[in-house]
Amino acid sequence: MKKNRVLTGITTTGTPHLGNYIGAIKPAVEASQSDQIESFFFLADYHALIKTQDKSLVHQSTKEVAACWLALGLDTSKAMFYRQSDIPEIPELTWLLTCMTAKGLMNRAHAYKSAVQDNSATGEDADHGITMGLFSYPILMAADILMFNAQIIPVGRDQVQHVEMARDIAQRFNHHYGTFFELPEAQIDEDHETLLGLDGRKMSKSYKNTIPIFLSEKQLRKHVNKIKTNLLEPGVPKDPESSIVFQLWSAFATSEQIQEMSHQFSSGIAWGEAKQLLFELINSKLERPREIYNELMANPDQIESVLLDGAERARHHSLEFMKELRAAVGIQSLK
Ligand code: TRP
């Protein structure tokens, strides 16, 4: 049976938080255990350069994201786990694809469009502060995907358009040069989509409302205590549906525990007590991974060697494929 190839990238511009864990890391690590699936996960460090010029942020985030996925149980003998910049065939393919991409297609990319809109709202020139990196970043993302002929691309809703663009670009290449690429499809995990942050908006680094995955126990407790609640007193029934505490509980709890907490809400559990239980639950799930994470962060050469090993395996495929693609466009030895 042919395996499904699943691929996703993580941009290295921040510290992974519980929203990333529930929405992306946990489902990805679990799916990678399946024998029907071949998983490719990579640190999108070239993508990071589109968003920031802070080199220590990129460097630190690369280390943190890698340590995080490893500590949370990614089995690198099953999944391919690598750093984008260790695969030079990716930027090489990006160029071939750039020459196949209509500028009009990139004009429609929403990240670019919203930057233009922001400029017009503030009366700036339309191109103010917009780099070619931002403009053409869907092509880099297409190269990430097409390099490994991945079919299923788990992403957040904001990335669906980019996966569709990768399809368009692949089709155009196939049309001109012969069928080299499979057409990828975005996959959105509806169940785990949005975890709310401390303030009740979507948990996101841009809102500064996150709970990082690997805080010390003390810091984790502090963050949980900061979660916004209403002013209902102990003994007054509380609505689980509208509660951030309950939503976080549900993300970590078993179905029995969810039921139980739902009863406790109806019978008026005090917010302080609910938060204490929530802290204990999250902490119990993260205690062991936290130890592994701290060990890895203290020994970055271990992380480095895992990544280099992943890159070497990934390049078995990308080097060969790139040779074929180069020949397909007429770039090959004259002998
Ligand atoms: N652009 C994606 C994001 O910001 C990350 C990413 C880069 C990616 N390359 C990818 C996701 C390829 C899926 C496939 O979330």
pLDDT tens column, 202-226:
998 889 999 999 999 999 999 999 9
Per-residue pLDDT of the chain (335 residues; tens, 9 = 90+): 567 999 999 999 999 999 999 999 999 999 999 999 999 999 999 999 999 999 999 999 999 999 999 999 999 999 999 999 999 999 999 999 999 999 999 999 999 999 999 999 999 999 999 999 999 999 999 999 999 999 999 998 889 999 999 999 999 999 999 999 999 999 997 766 689 999 999 998 889 999 999 999 999 999 999 999 999 999 999 999 999 999 999 999 999 999 999 999 999 999 999 999 999 999 999 999 999 999 999 999 999 999 999 999 999 999 999 999 999 999 999 99
**Gap from CA of 302 to ligand 1 centroid (Å):** 25
> Ligand 1: which of 162, 185, 204 to mutate, most ligand atoms within 8 Å of CB?
162
Pick the residue whose CA is nearest to atom 6 on ligand 1. Answer: 9
The most distant pair of C-alpha atoms in the chain lies apart, rounded to whole Å, by: 84
**Residues in the ligand 1 pocket, defined by CB under 6 Å:** 7-9, 11, 44, 47, 141, 144-145, 153, 155, 159
Query: 4-193+300-329 — its CATH code?
Result: 3.40.50.620
Pick the residue whose CA is nearest to atom 13 on ligand 1. Answer: 8
pTM, 2 dp: 0.94
Atom from ligand 1 closest to the CA of residue 10: 5
Domain boundaries, the chain: 4-193+300-329, 214-295
Q: Place domain 214-295 in its CATH homologous superfamily.
A: Tyrosyl-Transfer RNA Synthetase (1.10.240.10)
In this structure, how many other beta carbons lie within 10 angstroms of the beta carbon of residue 280? Answer: 12
Pick the residue whose CA is nearest to atom 7 on ligand 1. Answer: 9
Mean pLDDT of the chain: 96
